[in-house]
Amino acid sequence: MHKLDERILEHLDGKTWSDPWLMSEHFRFTTSADRIADRCEVLSDADLIAPAREGSSMYEIQTIGRLYLKGDIDADLRRPIPAPRPPHAVRPGWWAGFG
């Protein structure tokens, strides 16, 4: 967890939803909306926040995120699970000599 991650969670805890561009205007230190969007993706992969709608850039805090803010869970124990490669990005078996 970075300091920025905690700021994002604190911001979302007081709101119904927000997006990285609104958060970049809200924070008092200079952080780009792109950097906040990157951190939101990481927090979303760890289930601390989630997109408000599928495919949108608006995020809302989840129960696990609220528990982290209360100090009830350790975020270092919640590591995002890497996603498997999509079928179009996997080389065929013959490429590695398997068939």
- Domain ranges in the chain are 3-75
Over residues 11-44, the pLDDT tens digits come to 999 888 999 999 998 877 678 999 999 999 989 9
Residue type (1 letter), 70: K
CATH placement of domain 3-75: 1.10.10.10
Over residues 52-98, the pLDDT tens digits come to 988 788 999 999 999 999 999 887 776 666 667 777 777 777 776 76
Task: Transcribe 42-69 into DSSP letters.
Answer: HHHHTTSEEESSTT-S-EEE-HHHHHHH
Q: Are 17 and 8 in contact (CB under 8 A)?
A: no
Q: Is 59 strand, coil or helix?
A: strand
Q: Are 59 and 16 in contact (CB under 8 A)?
A: no
pTM over 0.85: no
Q: In residues, how long is the chain?
A: 99
Other C-beta atoms closer than 10 Å to the C-beta of 59 total 27
